[in-house]
Structures are given as C-alpha cells and as structure tokens.
C-alpha cells in the first residue's frame, strides 16, 4: 500500500481511512457512526496485524544491519519490506488522526459555550 502525504486525514473527518485499497490502488474510506460494525472491526484487526508485522520487520532490519556480511540482495529485500511496513504504519497513523475530535479555536467566538 502506498501512503499519500499530500492528502492527510484531518481530525474530525466523517470518513475513516481503511487499511486497504481498491484493486486500482485508490484509498478506501468508511462512513461510520463508531457503532463497532463488521467493517470497523475488520479494519481494526488488520491495523493491529500491520503494526505487529511492522514491529517484527523492524527487529529483522536491525539484525540485518548488524550483520556485516549481509549482501546487497538481503539489504534490498529488507529495505523493500521495511518501506512497505512504514507505509502501512503511516496510513494507520493518518487514519487514527482523522478519528480524533476536531480541535476548537479558543479565540473563535462561534465555538464558545456561553449563551451570552
């Protein structure tokens, strides 16, 4: 999966960025009321799996980098796997950022709770 840093999720987004893409490589979004339906649970499980995979790949990459005899092919494969995992982690972070509540501007009088 690819991560698009030019189109980040904004806090308070009504759509959740899912951890998979369409067959043509476009991002998938879900409009959800946070009721914990099938698709949000599936997305949560996939994100958890991607985070575990990324942690394991980080450990593997550190081992490869510590091995002075690691050849170019080993380094290339490790880098390819690590960059894929980094893209997944950035996508998860972006999705979670979109699920944060939107920040309010304390200087904006329209955001005030006062009735007066």
Residue 86 has φ and ψ, to the nearest 5°, of: -65, -40
Length of the chain: 116
Specify the range with the lowest mean pLDDT, choosing from 19-28, 33-42, 71-80: 33-42
Confidence of residue 37 (pLDDT cuts 50, 70, 90): confident
Q: For the chain, how many structural domains are there in total? A: 1
What 3 state SS string does 21-66 have? ECCCCCEEEEECCCCCCHHHHHHHHHHHHHHHHHHHHHHHHHHHHH
Does some domain include residue 6?
no
User: Given phi > 0 = left and psi -120 to 50 = alpha, else beta, which region is 94?
Assistant: alpha
Encode pLDDT of 50-99 as tens digits: 999 999 999 999 999 999 999 999 999 999 999 999 999 999 999 999 88
pLDDT at position 99: 85
Smallest CA-to-CA distance from 63 within 52, 74, 73 is with 74
Residues spanned by the domain of 41: 15-98
109 within domain boundaries: no
Give the model confidence (pLDDT) of 48-61 as tens digits.
Answer: 999 999 999 999 99
- Tell me, yes or no, whether 112 lies in a domain: no
């Amino acid at each position: 999966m690819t991560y698009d840093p030019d189109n980040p999720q904004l806090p308070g987004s009504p759509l959740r960025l899912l951890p998979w893409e369409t067959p043509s490589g476009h991002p998938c979004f879900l409009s959800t009321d946070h009721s914990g339906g099938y698709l949000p649970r599936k997305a949560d499980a996939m994100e958890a799996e991607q985070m575990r995979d990324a942690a394991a790949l980080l450990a593997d990459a550190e081992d490869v980098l510590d091995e002075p005899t690691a050849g170019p092919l080993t380094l290339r494969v490790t880098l390819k796997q690590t960059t894929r995992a980094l893209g997944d982690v950035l996508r998860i972070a972006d999705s979670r950022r979109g699920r944060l509540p939107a920040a309010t501007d304390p200087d904006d009088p329209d955001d005030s709770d006062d009735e007066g």
